[in-house]
Amino acid sequence: MATNIKGPAIFLAQFAGDAAPFNSWDSITKWAASLGYKGVQIPTWNGRLFDLKKAAESKTYCDEVKGVAHANGVEITELSTHLQGQLVAVNPGYDEAFDAFAPAAVHGKPKERQKWAVEQLILAAKASKNLGLKASVTFSGALAWPYVYPWPQRPQGLIETTFGELAKRWKPILDAYDEAGVDVGYEIHPGEDVFDGATFEMFLDALKGHKRCQINYDPSHFVLMHLDYLSFIDIYHERICAFHVKDAELNPTGRQGVYSGYQPWINRAGRFRSLGDGQVDFGAIFSKLSQYGYASWAVLEWECCIKHPEQGAAEGAPFIDSHLIRVTEKAFDDFAGGKTDQAQVNRLLGL
């Protein structure tokens, strides 16, 4: 069955590890294919699976990586630079925590860590080109997030300066992706400065509408923010270049709501869930994306506070597959139509 949306695919970040079959590119792609996945999204920071620097420098290496995937029954969907992307912009209050995402040599050195992150993003642009990919996925990073719900009030100019600085840092990166012919899908995510439609527009405006500034659509974050994730597609569908299929639920109580009261995941009002266990209306999402001609991958991102990842992965492929839509090429009522008869039209209208 031919569909506009490709899939099922799976993001490998939450599965890669030291134990087989999750510890090598060959074995993890075989595992993904055995569950029914047709595509895999690569976490570029995980050296067990992928050598980003080598991929940027060697098309031969990229052909080998693609060859292994193809032999095992899957395609590469996109490269992910979520961890590195966050390090392009980090508020000083988060420096120590974010050092964990970078090499030890740049810990405690924010400017060197940022330089390393930018280099990683550029490498991913070149690697994506060598792999023949058309999109990549990432995070924007955050300078203003500590001030998202402020008291005392934010000083005048803080937000404008934030998005001006974000654009200044990201434009050379986006230019490199443009040269490589690759879109950058920013995952709209609380904790990043680009966390909803309004902030995406501010970012895009600061970038003067850069054509490579796109969206990795993930409805789970919108559920947790109580944002209309279907209307979001209506508004921004022209900028959606990637799709994370992830479920979530928001069950506010008299004790907690959107902010979830500093509780562990299991006790939060807002929680990520395995596909089908949360509140996301995926039938409506796949319909809307198909309506607007989205033709890239539907990629499972497994995150759940209850279910084991391997069960979530096993259930995810058939779940996505069941939502793929073969888009019709004709109207359902064509059988009742006919050729235009202008004389009849004129009679019916009394003309």
Surface-to-core class of residue 142, CB atoms within 10 Å of its CB (0-12 exposed, 13-18 middle, 19+ buried): buried
Residue 329 pLDDT: 82
3-state secondary structure of 184: strand
Residue 74 pLDDT: 98
Query: Mind listing the pLDDT tens digit of every residue in the chain (351 residues)?
Result: 567 999 999 999 999 999 999 999 999 999 999 999 999 999 999 999 999 999 999 999 999 999 999 999 999 999 999 999 999 999 999 999 999 999 999 999 999 999 999 999 999 999 999 999 999 999 999 999 999 999 999 999 999 999 999 999 999 999 999 999 999 999 999 999 999 999 999 999 999 999 999 999 999 999 999 999 999 999 999 999 999 999 999 999 999 999 999 999 999 999 999 999 999 999 999 999 999 999 999 999 999 999 999 999 999 999 999 999 999 888 777 777 778 899 999 999 999
CB-based contact 240:289 (threshold 8 Å):
yes
Phi, psi of 66 (to 5 degrees): -65, -40
Could you say which architecture CATH assigns to the domain 6-349? Answer: Alpha-Beta Barrel (3.20)
Q: Which two tokens stand for residue 166?
A: 């974000």
Cα dihedral: 45, 48, 54, 59 (round 10): -110
By DSSP bridging, strand 6-11 and strand 297-300 are: parallel
Residue 330 pLDDT: 80
Helix ranges restricted to H, 35-182: 52-57, 59-72, 82-86, 95-98, 110-131, 158-180
Q: How many C-beta neighbours within 10 Å does residue 13 have? A: 19
Residue 240 pLDDT: 98
Residue 133 pLDDT: 98
* Residue 315 neighbours by CB under 8 Å, 6+ apart: 274, 275, 276
